[in-house]
Structure 1
Amino acid sequence: MKKKVLINVFLMLAVMLLAGCSVSKFIPEGSYLLDDVKIESDNKEIKSSQMNLYVRQTSNAKWFSIVKLPMYIYSASGLDSTKWLNRFWRKIGEAPVIYDRETARETREEMEKAVQNMGYMGATVDMDEVPSGNRMKVYYSIHSGQPYVVERLTYDISDSKIAAYLAEDSTHTRLYEGMRFDVNVLDEERQRITQYLQDRGYYRFNKDFITYQADTMLNTHRVGLTMRLLPYRRTKDDAPQPHRQYTLRNVRYVLGVDFAELSEDALRGLDSISSGGVGLFYKDRPFLRPRVVTDYNHLHPGDLYCSRNVQDTYSSLARLSVLKYSNIRFDEVRLPGDSARVDAYIFLSKNKNKALSFEIEGTNSAGDLGAAASASFIHRNLFKGSETFTLKLRGAYEAVSGLEGYANSNYVEYGVESSINFPEFMFPFLSSDFKRRVRATSEVSVKFNSQVRPEFERTLASAAWSYRWSRRGKATHRFDVLDINYVYMPYISDAFNDYLDRMDQVNPLLRHSYEDLFIVRMGYTYTYNSAGGNAMKAAKSNSYSIRFNIEESGNLLYGFSRLVHKKPKYGDAYQLANIDFAQYVKMDIDFAKNFVIDDRNSLVFHAGLGIACPYGNSRSLPFEKLYFSGGANSVRGWRVRTLGPGSYRGDGNTIDYVNHTGDIKLDLNIEYRTYLFWKLNGAAFIDAGNVWNIRTQGTQTEGVFKFNRFYKQLAVAYGLGIRFDLDFLILRFDGGMKAINPMYTGKDRYPIVSPDFKRDFAFHFAVGYPF
């Protein structure tokens, strides 16, 4: 009853606030508040969303596309801007947008011009103003009319060599008879031809040398289109001449030195060395091995100038962390009878070799607060090949609550990890040309981690070798060739041992997760992002991402062991160095889709599925490989590791988190994201998911996956979130409420109908978006 009263009071205060935030005081007399802008089109090919680009004045932002709360927050301030409270409301709010008729007319003209450029030469755009009190709604109506169509397409190209090139590439042209006379397409074709010719030696070519002549036929919507190639002129007064193909004469890398004027004289006084036909110039000593420079170089003396090779060289050099930046400049050789040659100068600026950083962070694991600190050392040029060496030390402390009967209620973790990253494929028999084409890194790493909990102590040691690579495009690949993990349990408390004994009746495989174990795994991960990994672009445009991962462990060891011994010597499992090794296969797939509604609102959908199967040498997955549900990136109505498997409820014991794991995981999420004010964004979300086991574990049958009931065991949550966007970092605060709880029956199964805030609410703090 008290909660309902508080909710009603809150709603009344919100209504009073909105009612008291009069916008009228900020609207000058005779002016209007721009209430809304609508675009309508009589042609399905002309979408309103396309025309939004030309709207020069939009109305105030709406939270979740419903209410203009930022404007009302601003309006809560008084007219006296000297008061700090008024300044505060104005800073976090948004000033009312006052309608500007001249800007609206410019929008109409720009929109009309844009539609005409799409081939609808007779198109018109009407603008209707609909006032209501001191508010104004503006409607733009697009009347496209009949499109103009290219009936005849001809080419006027006197340069026979370029004509032959274009004929060779005719299958890629954007122009064809019967196409709509779209000015945008014509310009795209100019850009495409320019890029095509610049990749074939035409260093001085630009799109202004390509022009169009369009002849419209009287009283028809048919166009005769001629593409014309203009001859080359350095200046307007020069005589026309054929376009020339340029060849690279010299390719020179200049390390740690820069000069404004490109000349032979500028290189005097520098030491030099030649490698692979490329000259390296430096002072004192080069900070990169000559072979490294030539392996990342795509420009070679004697080759035709190619703009793609220039960009590939930039991209390759960008992978070298030792470089602060690179700059490629060309000098045209001006010699009698030899004017079609250029010298390439590539200037490399050195980054700081070494860096030391410190990090302090707060932690919150299922409500237990703690702190962690780490120190990292980076060397970006360990062997003068831009190899990145990293050494990181980390320590953490957490106050564990709810563990009765333990003298020590602290969680302490410390660890050290080190890695060396090579900016290429470190593998024998690979040619330099292959390494140059594929953007790859190789990494070797070792880690040691010690966890001291009240219930047990765990030590993890690992060593790994992996490759990561990508080609042109938006896909990346990761291949873990070998990843060896050793889990050592030096101490298990008597109380935890008793707990494992009791759980043998419910989950007899649980004990295997707390025994010494070797994990020798291989894995492959494929990631595709339609935005090309650009987080800003992904957030502001329709985009999607796919992630697929598969890994296996123990198969080679198991096969070798079976060759040597038909049966295990000790127990039920084969061993490596007298320690059991894990054998399993695991597969995950994630999909996320971002639908942009406007520049302030978007809808994001995410689906994730994971399946892992232990077999052969293992009866259960290693604890680190088990799935869990709940938490900031899953079903946010539950705390991490408190949901599932299936309808398993648990005994409420703090240690029971070890049972809330499974071999199968399903996550379904939908989130509406909106801009609030200043650096704050909001979100409303609905989550669904759970984890399940593949086979029955003791008496815990409610956690086993069954096709005829798994959908009934899906947990559902809803909630709101705040994101604090610091440009380089996003801090996220989410509050989730349980809607459907498969762990209960009866009315408690549907807390959305009768919520209990203490029981059904979960708060999460995280860094970055959940998906």
Structure 2
Amino acid sequence: MKLQFNNILILLVCFICITACDSLKRVAEEDHVLSENTILVNGKKENTEILNNLLYQKPNTKIPILGVPLRLHVYNLARPNIDSIINADLNKRPNKKKHLENFLSKKQLNKYIESKTKFNAWLKKTGEAPIIVNELKTKKSIIRLNDYYINNGWLDVKTDYDITKTDDKRAKIEYQVETGEPFIIDTITPNIKSPIIDTIYQKIKKDALIKHNDQYRTVNFEQERERIATEIRNSGVYHFSQDYITMDIDTIGTNKKMNVGIHIQDRAIKNQDSITRVPFKIYTIRDVNIITDYSFENRDKPFLDSIKYNGYNIYAYDKIKYRPRALTDAMFTNAGTIFKDLDRTRTYRHLNELRTFKYPNIEYYEHEDNTLTDTIRLTPLKKFNFGFSTDVSQSNIQNFGFSLSPSLQIRNIFRGAETFEISGIASIGSSKDKNDPGDPFFDINEYGLDLKLTIPRLFSPFYTERIIPKYMSPSTSINLSTTSQTNIGLDKETFSGAFSFKWQPNSKVTDKLDIFNMQYINNLNIKNYFRVYTTSFTTLNNIAQEVGYVGPDEELNIPNSDNPNNQADEFIAYALADTTPSEISSSEVSTIQGIDERKTRLTENNLILSSSFSFTKDGRTNIFDENFSIFKFKLEAAGNILASASDFIGLKKDDQDRYELLGVAFSQYLKTELDYTKHWDLGTKNVIAMRSFLGIAVPYGNSTSIPFSKSFYAGGPNDNRAWSAYGLGPGSSQTTNEFNEANLKIAFNLEHRFNLIGNLNAAFFIDAGNIWNIFDDVETEGATFDSFSSLKDIAVGSGTGLRYDFSFFVFRFDVGFKTYNPSNETQNRWFQEYNFSNAVYNIGINYPF
């Protein structure tokens, strides 16, 4: 291992040295490449992203850690005068060009020349030209630095620079900033003409962004103008705009104090030859008109249907196809109330969330008595929308698979702007390990149906407006689905249903409440267990041969069409009888017992009736934001209602003292998850991304373990990438099970993402975490979380990866190396498998977190 690592290190050092010498070959003798920027503020070095982004010139981008300017080397591969070089090559021997034209044809030769010039252009575009020190750009950077500090209160700032050039055609630039003392805001004096505006300002000035004794910042003045205008527009002043607000600053003889004047003029009314100033007025809403089927063709036609409902006038050129409440629930403008810009914005948002209309048109018509008529024109989308998709796949269980997924969306199905979606799936595949050699080529099949009804309000018999007002965009979702799989694992049927509420208290927070979520899993082919979980069978078979249960050349059989008897189950029953057979040791009994417990848990049918609440706070401002945090919290409780009512409804118990409903012991547990993601944008497509996760599920009452579908696993392309999915844990146990899962999980991921060339990005990452069993019926040594000392079993993986950005998705390839493997002996845990032969290769779509 050490020898391999040293060889890699030597190759990297040699590569860096060679490329460093070659990076300046396109630089003229009189030019110098920028190698370093230094910013000194009051004599102290500053290296913040904000200041660095102000500079017009930055050194060529380098690969982190390696320090290699890869894009510069790509650029250097391009030839400066490719046309001249090609022509010179064609003309260096007499008649060469003519011979090539005769051999290739003139058209093919021109295409060959064109391909070389295009490839040369691609190298230049993809690469990065050497950054030559330009003193004019340096002076522009000084102006930017100067403006930055002035805009943040240091009005007496002084800036300068030094350029240090070396004999190897490199240069460093040092920027010097002397800020002086900052200017502080002293008095703030308003000068407001209209009495109504002055009254509003006195109410809102307590939240001002410009305050006495604060340091001057230009952005605060800009945002304060915007804040005042917004507050006034939301207080009924229809004609007001930000242009009416001006601010002046007096710093003469104030000893670095600022006296601020805030001026708000009267309304300007333009006449033919003059402008008249009049005081602003408060406007109220006289009428709200809703046109439900507007189109350009209908604009001059008379309305054929109309309804008055709760102060709203609803019109249609044809018959009104919506229940009035479905429309008015999305309206925030009400007759008799004052005009508010916020009401119009919320109305736009809620109408779009109905997914029933195209982008609405909202217009106000002014009357002489300071009232407004609000007209909202709605253009319906098509009632039916049909979708169809196909997929060809390959996985670890099938050589080839093909699936069809049709879907149908029906809008306004019950005339309340509800959306009903029907989707299905039908797939066939060829398995890698057939259960029976006589099975046909396509021996895997799956089909399912999913029904989803979305209601744009809380569907409840209770009045919920005071708890969850409609500006939070409340909605109700009702789901029913079923799937059936054969020749996949144990074969199973799944039935599920959910009734959920969702709402958004603000633009960053989303809450979801599952009133109930029911899931029933019926395993159809339990006898196939040892064909799926071959590791368990191999362990069991080895013990059987050791104790002489079968002859040395025989194996425990698994049932098939020729032999329905399951000798593996018979051996388990024999070994775990009340009287342990003398030939089986206590350690072997413990192993067999563990296999039996796992088989029982993974083959039993599950009935889960749960409720849950989830909270998500997403700080992203848009899809391109790379400086944000996301926090997710979920709490789920299952089985409590059934447990409380079990005696009342007369449920019976099974042989393990568990209540059963419809012949299935229902699950009872409490589960919680905490997930925090943070991104730091370092500029120039450099991002540090971090994710932490903690999850625990505690069985109690009617359960001693967590259902497989609700348990945690570790490993895989979105978790610890040095282990395959389900391959890590639990704890330090040396299990070789195909699917490892447990009810406690800790995970931490850290990744540095950076650009290589064009749309190709790369990353270095460290993943840490593991799963454990806690408060359940598993007692396997090393698999349980006993105390904080179990944290020593946190696995660590590290590696690197490539990402290619296709704009609409990111293709990801990662290589993970086991850095700290807790399943090894204590002295052999670090770097024992840090090589390509033990690496895990992950392919994924989009970023892992």
Q: Matched residue of 2:336: which SS?
A: coil
How far, CA to CA, are the matches of 1:665 and 1:547 in structure 2? 15
User: Which amino acid is 1:60 matched to?
Assistant: N
| CA spacing shift, 1:104–1:44, aligned 2, 3 Å | closer
Contact 2:818/2:833 (<8 A) preserved = no
Residues 1:63 and 2:97 are matched in the alignment = no
Matches within 5 A, 1:135-534: 135-218=170-253, 220-235=255-270, 237-257=274-294, 269-273=302-306, 274-286=308-320, 288-333=322-367, 335=368, 338=369, 340-361=370-391, 370-371=400-401, 373=403, 374-396=405-427, 401=432, 411-430=444-463, 436-453=470-487, 455-493=489-527, 495-496=530-531, 504-510=592-598, 511-531=600-620, 534=622
Matches within 5 A, 1:529-568: 529-531=618-620, 534-537=622-625, 539=626, 541=627, 543-563=628-648, 568=653
- Which residue of the partner structure matches residue 741 of structure 1? 821
| CA spacing shift, 1:627–1:468, aligned 2, 3 Å | same
How far, CA to CA, are the matches of 2:431 and 2:469 in structure 1? 50
- Which residue of the partner structure matches residue 102 of structure 2? none
Contact 2:269/2:278 (<8 A) preserved = no
Contact 2:722/2:839 (<8 A) preserved = yes
| CA spacing shift, 1:108–1:680, aligned 2, 3 Å | same
How far, CA to CA, are the matches of 2:604 and 2:129 in structure 1? 63
| CA spacing shift, 1:498–1:131, aligned 2, 3 Å | farther
- Which residue of the partner structure matches residue 762 of structure 1? 840
Contact 2:305/2:319 (<8 A) preserved = no
Return the match for 2:738 from 636, 654, 657: 657
Greater CA radius of gyration, 1 or 2?
2
| CA spacing shift, 1:293–1:55, aligned 2, 3 Å | farther
User: Which amino acid is 1:633 matched to?
Assistant: N
Return the match for 2:689 from 594, 601, 604: 604
Matches within 5 A, 1:639-654: 639-650=724-735, 652=736
How far, CA to CA, are the matches of 2:131 and 2:310 in structure 1? 63
Q: Matched residue of 1:325: which SS?
A: coil
Q: How far 1:46 moved relative to its partner?
A: 9.5
- Which residue of the partner structure matches residue 73 of structure 1? 74
TM-score, normalization by structure 2: 0.81
How far, CA to CA, are the matches of 2:173 and 2:836 in structure 1? 45
Deviations 1:668-705 (A, max 9, x none): 11111112222222111111111111157566222111
Q: How far 1:296 moved relative to its partner?
A: 0.3
- Which residue of the partner structure matches residue 99 of structure 2? none
Return the match for 2:752 from 653, 662, 672: 672
Return the match for 1:714 from 775, 783, 794: 794
Structure 2 gap ranges (5+): 84-113, 532-565, 573-590
Deviations 1:54-112 (A, max 9, x none): 33444433333743212222222223275154344334433444444433323322331
- Which residue of the partner structure matches residue 720 of structure 2? 635
Return the match for 1:116 from 134, 150, 156: 150
Sequence identity (%): 25
How far, CA to CA, are the matches of 1:21 and 1:353 in structure 2? 64
- Higher mean C-alpha deviation, range 149-158 or range 425-434: 425-434
Q: Matched residue of 1:562: which SS?
A: coil
User: Which amino acid is 2:419 matched to?
Assistant: T
Contact 1:508/1:698 (<8 A) preserved = no
Q: Matched residue of 1:175: which SS?
A: coil
Contact 2:819/2:833 (<8 A) preserved = no
- Which residue of the partner structure matches residue 550 of structure 2? none
| CA spacing shift, 1:60–1:756, aligned 2, 3 Å | closer
How far, CA to CA, are the matches of 2:70 and 2:479 in structure 1? 50
- Higher mean C-alpha deviation, range 614-623 or range 432-441: 432-441
Q: How far 1:432 moved relative to its partner?
A: 6.3
How far, CA to CA, are the matches of 1:258 and 1:445 in structure 2? 34
- Higher mean C-alpha deviation, range 427-436 or range 474-483: 427-436
- Which residue of the partner structure matches residue 40 of structure 1? 40
Q: How far 1:363 moved relative to its partner?
A: 5.2
Deviations 1:4-45 (A, max 9, x none): 8995897589558836864432x4664444444443323999
Return the match for 2:661 from 572, 576, 585: 576
How far, CA to CA, are the matches of 1:559 and 1:715 in structure 2? 40
How far, CA to CA, are the matches of 2:39 and 2:606 in structure 1? 64
Q: How far 1:662 moved relative to its partner?
A: 0.7
How far, CA to CA, are the matches of 2:10 and 2:667 in structure 1? 58
How far, CA to CA, are the matches of 1:398 and 1:756 in structure 2? 35
Deviations 1:508-558 (A, max 9, x none): 4321221123111111111111225x3322x2x2x2111111111111111
| CA spacing shift, 1:628–1:429, aligned 2, 3 Å | same
How far, CA to CA, are the matches of 2:840 and 2:521 in structure 1? 32
How far, CA to CA, are the matches of 1:134 and 1:499 in structure 2? 77
Q: Matched residue of 1:720: which SS?
A: strand
User: Which amino acid is 2:60 matched to?
Assistant: N
- Which residue of the partner structure matches residue 96 of structure 2? none
Deviations 1:417-468 (A, max 9, x none): 1211112211123366855222122111111112223652111111111111
- Which residue of the partner structure matches residue 49 of structure 1? 49
User: RMSD of the alignment, in Å?
Assistant: 3.3
Q: Matched residue of 1:313: which SS?
A: helix
| CA spacing shift, 1:407–1:558, aligned 2, 3 Å | farther
How far, CA to CA, are the matches of 1:122 and 1:5 in structure 2? 55
How far, CA to CA, are the matches of 1:292 and 1:566 in structure 2? 42
Deviations 1:295-339 (A, max 9, x none): 101112232111111111111112111222123233333x4xx3x
How far, CA to CA, are the matches of 1:363 and 1:645 in structure 2? 30
| CA spacing shift, 1:405–1:18, aligned 2, 3 Å | farther
User: Which amino acid is 1:442 matched to?
Assistant: T
- Which residue of the partner structure matches residue 581 of structure 2? none
Q: Matched residue of 1:311: which SS?
A: helix
- Which residue of the partner structure matches residue 583 of structure 2? none
How far, CA to CA, are the matches of 1:218 and 1:177 in structure 2? 18
User: Which amino acid is 2:418 matched to?
Assistant: E
| CA spacing shift, 1:305–1:4, aligned 2, 3 Å | closer
User: Which amino acid is 1:668 matched to?
Assistant: F
Contact 2:32/2:169 (<8 A) preserved = yes
Contact 1:272/1:279 (<8 A) preserved = no
Q: How many residues align?
A: 751
Matches within 5 A, 1:614-629: 614-629=699-714
How far, CA to CA, are the matches of 2:216 and 2:438 in structure 1? 82
| CA spacing shift, 1:250–1:68, aligned 2, 3 Å | farther
